Structure 1
Amino acid sequence: MHKDFIVCYFNGRPPPFNQIQSVLSHMWGKGRKLEIHNNPRQRSAIVRIPSEYLRQKILEKNIWYVGDSMFHTAQWSSVHSASTPPLSSIQIWAHLTGVPLDLRYQQGLSLVTGLVGEPKETDDFTLNLVSLTLSHVKVEVDLTKPLPSVVEFQRQNGEVVEVQVDYPWLPPTCSHCKELGHVIRNCLTYTPPKNPPSGTETATKQKEKALVNDP
């Protein structure tokens, strides 16, 4: 019975429960209301998915969204009953421009891409040298660190090579803490400023105060 449950862990402040219920029921329940147990203190929700096939597909994809709130999934277990470990890294594709031709092989690309994250794989476009300037490499990156747009490395002859790095897809980035995976309104370290009273309200309060103090 417990194998039917998966845990959804939000990377930041979770959205309202009714939004979670609506989006997950649409994505995974095909419109049918899913059984969801919300745990906002732990930024998680436990969802019953009776279909083993669907459950495995959800777990394989791992990264999902409710609006602009990113979350990852895990099979429920007694370990997850208390808490779910936060997502600290994610795999994304990096497009490298300017890698020297003599480094356009598996080990050479790994050396360059290691300046971005941990290299995982490349594609046929890169292996077959479809482009002599552009390489595609999937890397595992740290969600707590900003991603570089340019990396530099020094060759044995002392030459410094600059490589431009582009990312065709990125998770949302917080403009406050700079971490990937949530936006500022869902940031756990951000405190919104209190709205100052408008000019009209201030003038009215000053007038009322003057009337009270007027003998």
Structure 2
Amino acid sequence: MSFPFVKNALEKTWKLKGSMDITTDRDLFYISFTASEDKQAVLEGGPIFIAGKIFVVMPWSPEAESQRNNVTTVPIWAKLSKVPKELWTKKGLSFLASLIGGPLCMDGATSMKRRLDFAKVCVTIPLDFEFPSSIKLKIRGKVVFVDVEYPWKPPSCSRCSRFGHLTARCPTAPTQVWVPRTNRSETKPCCAAPNGRVELAKCCNSKLQ
């Protein structure tokens, strides 16, 4: 995907108030904004799709650099409802976020306390994340539950341990083809070998994950 194409798609999608500078090293795109509200809006907007591919948006960090060739965590937004008022602090919300994943940031309305019916926090999650629907807490001897919703759940693959696609669509999965037998008996699925030839050996009975 060409650099000009991605840049044009980002500008059309984000509709920034200010301007942005964008560069790339082929693996990652690095973007800086002239307006801080643009940066906040982009982070709050979360992942975007360009030409059918997922672009994950996150603040730069050494961790992001280290994962450039093997993404093992991704940032997602979590919506927290029924948050006890004593936890409506930066420290309190960071604590709640840490019970879900790795705390990154909160949205503008949450940080400014412009609404108190729910909070939005951004956290990093691993590939095997189970998306809990609630957080159990004990405050002053009383058990309370904070409800958790996820506006977007990233597709992940248990076969190759990567984000970006489902297991059923993993490009590393063996190809299954149908080959009729010469005696016209019932056809059975066989696995295609890497060289494109059809192997009619034991792989016919192998299970596809």
Measured against the shorter chain, the TM-score band is 0.5 to 0.7
Query: Quick check: 1:97–1:163 contact (8 Å CA) kept in 2?
Result: yes
The match for 1:7 is none
* Greater mean alpha carbon deviation, residues 172-181 or residues 104-113: 172-181
CA displacement at 1:58 relative to structure 2: 2.7
Equivalent position to 1:54, from 19, 22, 36 = 22
CA displacement at 1:116 relative to structure 2: 1.2
The match for 1:9 is none
Query: Quick check: 2:76–2:152 contact (8 Å CA) kept in 1?
Result: yes
CA displacement at 1:106 relative to structure 2: 0.9
Q: Deviations over 1:30-62 (max 9, x none)?
A: 9xxxxxxxxxxxxxxxxxxxxxx431693238x
Q: Distance in 1 between the 2:98 and 2:68 partners? A: 28
Query: Quick check: 2:106–2:122 contact (8 Å CA) kept in 1?
Result: yes
1:27 aligns with 2:10: no
Q: CA RMSD for the aligned pairs?
A: 4.2
Percent of residue pairs identical: 24
The match for 2:134 is 151
CA distance 1:72–1:206, shift in 2 (3 Å): same
CA displacement at 1:84 relative to structure 2: 5.4
* Partner amino acid, structure 1, of 2:136: F
Q: Distance in 2 between the 1:176 and 1:153 partners? A: 32
List aligned pairs for 1:1-215, cutoff 5 A: 20=1, 26-28=5-7, 53-55=21-23, 58-60=29-31, 67-70=51-54, 85-142=69-126, 144-174=127-157, 180-184=163-167, 186-187=169-170, 190-192=173-175, 194-195=176-177, 205-206=184-185
* Greater mean alpha carbon deviation, residues 121-130 or residues 94-103: 121-130
What is the TM-score with the length of structure 2 in the denominator?
Answer: 0.53
Normalized per residue, the structure richer in strand is: 2
* Partner amino acid, structure 2, of 1:129: K
Q: Distance in 2 between the 1:173 and 1:166 partners? A: 18
Normalized per residue, the structure richer in helix is: 1
- SS of the residue 2:120 aligns to: strand
* Partner amino acid, structure 1, of 2:108: D
- SS of the residue 1:54 aligns to: strand
Query: Quick check: 1:145–1:179 contact (8 Å CA) kept in 2?
Result: no
Structure 2 unaligned runs (5+)? 10-20, 33-46, 58-64, 187-209
Q: Distance in 1 between the 2:169 and 2:80 partners? A: 31
CA distance 1:72–1:175, shift in 2 (3 Å): same
- SS of the residue 1:125 aligns to: helix
Q: Distance in 2 between the 1:164 and 1:178 partners? A: 28
Query: Quick check: 2:103–2:124 contact (8 Å CA) kept in 1?
Result: yes
- SS of the residue 1:111 aligns to: helix
CA displacement at 1:68 relative to structure 2: 4.2
CA distance 1:115–1:191, shift in 2 (3 Å): farther
* Greater mean alpha carbon deviation, residues 90-99 or residues 182-191: 182-191
Q: Deviations over 1:62-86 (max 9, x none)?
A: x77664444679xxxxxx9xx9531
Give the aligned length: 152
